Amino acid sequence: MRLLLVFALLAATAFAASKENPTPEEINEIIRRFSQNESQFAKARENYTYRQAYKIEELDRNGRPTGKMEMVADIVFTSEGKRTERVVHAPMNTLRGLIMTPEDEQDLRNVQPFVLTADEVQNYHVRYLGKETLDEIPCYAFAVKPRNMVEGRRYFAGLVWVDDESLQIVKSYGRGVGVGKRVAGQKFPKFETYREQIDGVYWFPTYTIAEDTLPFESGPLPIKMVVTYKDYKQFKAESTITFGDEVKPEPPPAPKPPR
């Protein structure tokens, strides 16, 4: 019994050391496993409803807002079960120096809530940086950048932190990047995106913040952007979602009198 206990302690010590100082082979396995988990998460998230809100502000030299653009939208399913976006709040846009482009929209939808799936990981250089602890969560830290960029597509370039237990991304920091004539002259801010474990299985994006100064040709422009993702709820395929007034069933026809 004592010998078995010694072997168990040695195995546990070796495992802990391996997690702290993984070999190149173990790092490749970690990347493979966390990209698979990210694929599963991406598929699962497609079956969730949630509310996404963003606010982008232009700032003066003292950090006071001089213009803003904001929108609140619910990601929901139609009564036919199709996923759609329903805008619930969109006040007047008062931005003066910023113009939201299709590339900015892509970043909001896909780059800032960055998910590195098994299909996408082959498009990126992923370099292991070491172990770090974020909010008491032991993580593997990786530097991520695209290998080759296709015109018209947006990519993430920056850092990701992967929980060493669930092997899922819990935080990302970087910016959206791309190539082509459309992005010439455009500037994109650095951002941080945080995730939380919502359903006990997957880590969902819940908060993105960007505070940066964009170096336009007309002069530097300080901006602040906050994006929130709230009220995640799993959509049940067997249920029916309707909007508007309740539709009451018509009463059954009266029976015909006997002849």
Side-chain half-sphere of 172: how many Cα atoms within 13 Å? 27
Write down the pLDDT at residue 14.
40
Q: How far apart are the C-alpha atoms of 240 and 190, rounded to whole Å? A: 40
Write down the pLDDT at residue 18.
56
* Residues of the chain under the 50 pLDDT cut: 1-17, 238-259
Write down the pLDDT at residue 218.
87
pLDDT in tens, 132-172: 999 999 999 999 999 999 999 999 999 999 999 999 999 99
Write down the pLDDT at residue 8.
39
Contact of 208 with 227, CB cutoff 8 Å: yes
Contact of 168 with 45, CB cutoff 8 Å: no
Strand-pairing partners, residue 68, are 57
Q: Residue 111 CB: number of other CB atoms within 10 A?
A: 26
Write down the pLDDT at residue 185.
87
Write down the pLDDT at residue 237.
54
Q: How far apart are the C-alpha atoms of 89 and 11, rounded to whole Å? A: 56
